[in-house]
Amino acid sequence: MKKKFEQIVPFIGLLLLLILFSLIIGGKFWKTNNLLAIFNQTVLIMIGGLGMIFVVAQGSVDISQGSTLALVATLTGIVVNNYGLLAIIPTVLLVGGLVGLINGVVVSKFKVSSLTCTLGLLIAIRALVAVLCQGTVIYIPFELFAFSNFNILFPTFIGLIISIAYFFEYTKMGYYSKIIGANEVKAQYSGVPVGKMKILAFIMSGIMSGVAGVFTLSRIGGVDPGMGNFFELQVLLALFAGGIPVTGGTSSKIYKLFIGSLIVGILENGLTLANVSGVLAEGIKGIVLIMVVFITMYHTNSQMREKTI
pLDDT of residue 110: 96
Residues above pLDDT 90, as percent of the chain? 67
What is the Cα Rg of the chain in Å? 19
pLDDT of residue 302: 65
Tell me how crowded residue 124 is: count the other CB atoms within 10 A of its CB. 15
- Work out the pLDDT band at 140, boundaries 50, 70, 90: confident
**Is residue 294 in a domain?**
no
Alpha carbons 147 and 215: distance in angstroms, whole number? 6
Query: pLDDT tens-digit profile of 70-119?
Result: 999 999 999 998 888 889 999 999 999 999 999 999 999 999 999 999 99
Reported as half-sphere exposure (CB side, CA atoms, 13 A), residue 114 has a value of: 23
**Is residue 187 in a domain?**
yes
Contacts of 71 (CB under 8 A, 6+ apart): 95, 99, 125, 128, 129, 132, 213
**Is residue 59 in a domain?**
yes
**Is residue 158 in a domain?**
yes
**Is residue 21 in a domain?**
no
**Is residue 165 in a domain?**
yes
Question: Chain-wide mean pLDDT for the chain?
Answer: 90
84: domain range? 44-239+253-264
Highest mean pLDDT among 49-58, 159-168, 290-299: 49-58
Phi-psi region of 214 (alpha: psi -120 to 50; beta: other; left: phi over 0): alpha
Contact yes or no for 249/58 (Cβ under 8 A)? no
Phi-psi region of 212 (alpha: psi -120 to 50; beta: other; left: phi over 0): alpha
Alpha carbons 204 and 197: distance in angstroms, whole number? 10
Q: DSSP assignment, residue 225?
A: T
pLDDT of residue 108: 97
Query: pLDDT tens-digit profile of 247-271?
Result: 999 999 999 999 999 999 999 999 9
Among 137-146, 189-198, 205-214, name the one with the lowest average pLDDT: 137-146
Mean pLDDT of 55-80: 96
Mean pLDDT of 24-51: 93
3-state secondary structure (DSSP) of residue 223: strand
pLDDT above 80 for 147 = no
pLDDT of residue 127: 96
Alpha carbons 186 and 182: distance in angstroms, whole number? 9
- Work out the pLDDT band at 8, boundaries 50, 70, 90: confident
Total of domains in the chain: 1
Measured CA to CA in angstroms, residue 240 lies from 138, 149, 155, 165, 256 at distances of 34, 29, 26, 17, 8
**Is residue 80 in a domain?**
yes
**Is residue 309 in a domain?**
no
Mean pLDDT of 25-44: 92
